[in-house]
Amino acid sequence: MTRVAAGARLHFGFQNLSLARERLYGGVGVALDEPRVVIEADPAEGVHCDDATVATHARTAVDLLGVPGVELTVVEHLPRHVGLGSGTQLAMATLAAVAAAHDCDPKLRAYAPALGRGGRSGVGVAAAEMGGFVVDGGHPTELFTAAPPADGAWTVPPVTARHELPTDWRFVVVVPDADPGRSGDAEDESMRTVVERADPGIADEIGGVLLRRVLPAAAEGDRTTFGAGVAKLGRLNGAWYADEQGGVYRPPAGRIVDDLSSCPAITGTGQSSWGPAVYALTDAELAEDARTAARDALDAVGVDGRIVVTAPANDGLWIDP
């Protein structure tokens, strides 16, 4: 039996959503150690799995890899459609599990489009592939316009910058009990609307924040500047999405972000992807203070939720043969 584990990812935002610029999207995010999806695999004839989504991915992987089949068991799940990249991490973990069961190369980046992943952001694929803080180069705008191309008719965006983050950094991930974030056709329609209206000036401001604040801070392990920088990047992204999600952050993420921002233990807060997941950056020594602030923030908005304190993952998905 082979076991594969893939951690969640945070998506801080995109570099550009305007059709007036040469490159569209360009994801910025980080791989996390937890929460994670864990899949066990054994070689088999045909595909056997009780999880319908995993079984579908596995059948595609079996065809791509040219292997006879696999038996899969999902041991741990990532929460779905909350902003933690569950779709991509599940697909990449399934592909890796099928490959590992037959001792072959999963070719995550090459095969991700066939599994429907990497069509906008490349952060999830890069998180599974190599971990760390990653920035991708986006797609040529003329290939996408306001609508995505047909499934699989793309390559995963190239990683243009990657840094390992200090092992004593901690991300406090807050997942309030709220409606799930957008996915599938609803997400496509929202993104189409956002792209058609996007102010290119915001992309120019994001470029400055990324180049002069976030990337140097990641390289130097400067938690304060990094946290403030990715929080700023997220707020700028929120200006693009405000009409679609009901504000710079979607409710109730906005109030949680505001409350967490006032905690001295925290150096940066924001919403991951469409939410409702919220992140806060701290370090190992201050993690319990930050966890308490997260619980207080949930109480203040009157909702329950899950809180995870996790380190960044500086490696890709984990395989135990």
Q: Is the pLDDT of residue 147 over 70?
A: no
Q: What is the biggest distance separating any 2 CA atoms in the chain, rounded to whole angstroms? A: 56
Q: Rounded to whole angstroms, how far apart are CA atoms 94 and 78?
A: 13
Distance between alpha carbon 175 and the CA centroid of its chain, in Å?
14
**Bridge partners of residue 14, in order along the sequence:** 27
Q: Rounded to whole angstroms, how far apart are CA atoms 177 and 106?
A: 35
Q: Is the pLDDT of residue 145 over 70?
A: no
Give the model confidence (pLDDT) of 65-117 as tens digits: 999 999 999 999 999 999 999 999 999 999 999 999 999 999 999 999 999 99
- Confidence at residue 119, expressed as pLDDT on a 0 to 100 scale: 87
**Nearest to residue 182, comparing CAs of 78, 79, 77, 81?**
81
The residue-averaged pLDDT of 47-56 equals: 98
pTM of the model: 0.95
CATH architecture of the domain formed by 2-320: 2-Layer Sandwich (3.30)
Place of tokens 């701290």: 282
Give the model confidence (pLDDT) of 207-234 as tens digits: 999 999 999 999 999 999 999 999 999 9
Q: Rounded to whole angstroms, how far apart are CA atoms 309 and 265?
A: 13
3-state class (DSSP) for residue 233: helix
Alpha-carbon radius of gyration of the chain: 19
Q: Rounded to whole angstroms, how far apart are CA atoms 186 and 72?
A: 30
Q: Is the pLDDT of residue 191 over 90?
A: no
Q: Is the pLDDT of residue 5 over 90?
A: yes
